[in-house]
Amino acid sequence: MSQKIIKRQTVILFLSVLMLGLFIFATYFYWVPDTLIDFVPDNILLYSHLNLSKFHYSGYLAQKWLKANDDRIENIFREHSVDFSIINSLEEIALFVSAEDNSGVSQLELILKSKIGLNDLQKMLPSSCFVEKISDKVFRISFHINSDKTRDLTSFSRENRFCFISPFDKTPSLVNGYIDLGVMSVYLPAPKIPMESRFVKFSVLYSSPQNNKLFFEIENKNTFDHPLFSSQENDFSVLGNDFDFVFVFPRQESINELEDRIKVYLASQNPKERKVILPDNSSFVEIIVDTEDFVFKKEGLIDYWKESPDYGFEVALSEDEESTFFSNNHILLKEIILTEQKENSKSALYWDVNNTWLQRLALKEKNQKIEGFLELK
């Protein structure tokens, strides 16, 4: 065998090994490993995982997002007496909400993979946290101590042990997890109509440093039409919420028909009393449901009724050829109508949340997925 052939084979072998090495490195870089999912109990409502390792693309994105939002996040940590530098000591974070216990309380807990030991970790967390070492560098954080309740740590699921992030995806995933859609429906601003318990995968997508929104998507093979508007029930108790919302749902009736049903509901919640005197001078009090007291005003495309000019309960409605808009704030409704004209979603919920760090939650049903965003303050 000539030296040229040997040299050529050596070069081919070297290039093959180099290409294989680059392929393995690239694959490893774009994998999102979840080494904490085995430590999560089975009976949970929500599970999410964040990888902070800079050796993975997801960790790089997380570090970039944290750096871009460090002032806001540091303020949140300070409010909860958590040392902000703890971020530099963590490799992975798993957050889960356990199912309600006998007292009807759902508990938020964390599992951390840490570069530091138990004592150093405890110093960075508030004294109200209960820190338990599960294995080497893996710790469980409880925000409420349940000394009378021991939970077995069992495997919740192995399906999401690894996730691959496409380098060509415009919105790569930042956080991955599972959510129980049946439980989520209970927390929406509407009557507590139970849905079937069903775990689905969700992802929190990376947002630009200039944007205060964290976008997410949830698998959903069924329609997200809200139960309040998928039937002809006259229960509009959702209007009693102390936060502002806008529902967008497929048009089922004219705005006048919907107004008439709302007037009946409002009148039944505010009945009048009328004293009736009989011929023998005896009397009784008659309860009257009078819809004439509820006259909707028109402002552009919006019809609305407000209890008083400065304060009180409000109902606002609008519609186009395909959708009906229902809200308790006609000013917010104006904003959402402009947004929805660009979105063309089948059904949606915009929910202004009164929270120290969260401004708004939006959910939209599109292409068998629930898409939305959390808008941070």
Q: pLDDT of 102-115, one tens digit each? A: 544 557 789 999 99
The mean pLDDT of the chain is: 76
Cβ contacts of 315 within 8 Å, gap of 6 or more: 236, 239, 262, 266, 296, 304, 305, 306, 327, 328
| DSSP 8-state class, residue 100 | P
3-state helix, strand, coil in the chain (%, to 5): 30, 35, 40
Which residues is 98 bridged to in the sheet?
44
In this predicted structure, the answer to whether residue 147 has a pLDDT above a threshold of 70 is: no
**Domain spans, the chain:** 32-219, 237-350
Give the orientation angle of helix 57-68 with respect to helix 70-79, to 10 degrees.
80
The better pLDDT of the pair 79, 234 is held by 79
**Neighbouring C-beta atoms of residue 249, cutoff 10 Å:** 20
Q: Is the pLDDT of residue 142 over 70?
A: yes
- pLDDT for 113 equals 93
Q: Residue 372 has what pLDDT?
A: 86
DSSP letter, residue 67: H
Could you tell me what percent of the chain has a pLDDT over 90? 6
Please, which pLDDT band fits residue 164 given cuts at 50, 70 and 90? low
**pLDDT of res. 156:** 46
pLDDT at 161: 55
Indicate the residue type of 341.
Q
Residue 377 has pLDDT above 80, yes or no: no
156 and 42 Cβ atoms separated by less than 8 Å:
yes
Nearest residue to 96 via CA among 62, 47, 138: 47
Per-residue model confidence as pLDDT tens digits over 327-360: 988 999 998 888 877 776 678 888 888 776 778 8
Identify the burial level of 219 via C-beta atoms within 10 angstroms of its C-beta, where 0-12 means exposed, 13-18 middle and 19 or more buried. Answer: middle
The winner for highest mean pLDDT among 11-25, 82-96, 214-228, 343-357 is 82-96
pLDDT digits (tens, 9 = 90+) for 241-292: 778 889 888 888 888 888 888 888 888 877 777 777 778 777 777 777 778 8
Average pLDDT, integer, range 203-223: 75
